[in-house]
Structure 1
């Protein structure tokens, strides 16, 4: 059973409206609706608050919904996210140093220049993507 169905059933069993639940855990009513209709997933703090509100264990609430588990795994995997950010930052530094050291050779060879510039653009784009994704 999807987490949205579990949340809706638990709310109905407690006799609460979406507005009351939203006020209790400090989100909008639309957010509650999105969760209950599986359009989005709650973050880990909201899951804990909902678990407390509905007096339902986290185990019962989360088991059986692989998409929700994957969402929580991705949103809480800070170590992996930081590792990617550090790797992309270092790659950009290496490319920059490479361009400085081999400036004379690169500027004389049009194909090498185009390749290095392409690599730089891709590297910087991925780096900024990682930064944006982190926030």
Structure 2
């Protein structure tokens, strides 16, 4: 079977069009048309339809079913230039927020005090939690930098997006697990002075969300699983995290507003560590909202592209 690039070249030459003329009709560069004919890249689905009309050939003649799949799976998920620029901006804000949180925590943490206190109280879990948060934050910076680079290069394909999202939720799972273990240890240590039974369900629930998000990202973006439940699970986890981030931020703002009203002076009402935590909550909430918002947008965009590809293939083979 003749591949797309060769078929495109033959159709173009048959109509007497040069690469430059065809490029002008499609509002792309001549190099782009050359890349298509060499098989290095594929046009997006809308451009493929326009090629079919300009060259007066059927989509079935230009693309086989397998090649239609390549158009979706090899091309960037977000091909619209404006939308891609917005994503680049969001990636940059996310990275800035994470770096700010990590840097502020590393520079302001009294490591001698924390390690000494942990040894005296036999509470190594607290040190492990602090280190885990810094390490996990650093890993997140790396994976979103990877996403930013490929967004700038316009090469953020479904597999690459899947890797970013799966890594993000895997890191979230690890961080949630360490935090849960630390908090549960502290609760159990102080259980003698506590009233009622501690509720550990939220800790386990966060861990479960991380597992579901990572698995769903792999299945949908990398394994191309088209069962409806898979993207629904991924969108559901992302929406839940967005709601939880907003809830945490609002609750902390209300709490600090109360402290402020009592003391009438921000510096007297909120100690230094409290201000640091406000900083973390604010930047953390912004990054979570942007990350989950992008995930939802990418899931919806890829679903539409795959649906259009399947419809075009069905029409071509009908």
TM-score above 0.5, yes or no = yes
The answer for the alignment partner of 1:56 in structure 2 is 57
The answer for the alignment partner of 2:36 in structure 1 is 35
Q: What CA distance in whole angstroms lies between the structure 2 residues aligned with 1:16 and 1:99?
A: 59
The answer for the alignment partner of 1:68 in structure 2 is 71
Could you say if the C-alpha distance between residues 87 and 4 of structure 1 is closer, same or farther in structure 2, counting changes exceeding 3 Å? farther
The answer for the alignment partner of 2:16 in structure 1 is 15
Q: Over the residues paired in the alignment, what is the CA RMSD in angstroms?
A: 4.2
The answer for the alignment partner of 1:130 in structure 2 is 295
Q: What CA distance in whole angstroms lies between the structure 2 residues aligned with 1:128 and 1:30?
A: 34
Higher radius of gyration, 1 or 2: 2
The normalised TM-score by structure 2 is 0.30
User: In structure 2, the residue corresponding to 1:40 is in which secondary structure?
Assistant: coil
Q: What CA distance in whole angstroms lies between the structure 2 residues aligned with 1:4 and 1:75?
A: 22
The normalised TM-score by structure 1 is 0.60
User: In structure 1, the residue corresponding to 2:56 is in which secondary structure?
Assistant: coil
Q: What CA distance in whole angstroms lies between the structure 2 residues aligned with 1:23 and 1:128?
A: 35
The answer for the alignment partner of 1:110 in structure 2 is none
Q: CA deviation at 1:42?
A: 1.0
Q: Is the 8 A contact 1:62 1:69 kept in 2?
A: no
Q: Is the 8 A contact 1:62 1:68 kept in 2?
A: no
Q: What CA distance in whole angstroms lies between the structure 1 residues aligned with 2:18 and 2:54?
A: 13
Q: What CA distance in whole angstroms lies between the structure 2 residues aligned with 1:131 and 1:39?
A: 29
Q: CA deviation at 1:60?
A: 2.0
Q: Is the 8 A contact 2:52 2:58 kept in 1?
A: yes
User: In structure 2, the residue corresponding to 1:16 is in which secondary structure?
Assistant: coil
How many residue pairs align between the two structures? 123
Q: Deviations over 1:20-71 (max 9, x none)?
A: 1111222221221122222322122211111012111112212141412545
Q: What CA distance in whole angstroms lies between the structure 2 residues aligned with 1:38 and 1:18?
A: 15
The answer for the alignment partner of 1:91 in structure 2 is 241
Q: What CA distance in whole angstroms lies between the structure 1 residues aligned with 2:40 and 2:55?
A: 21
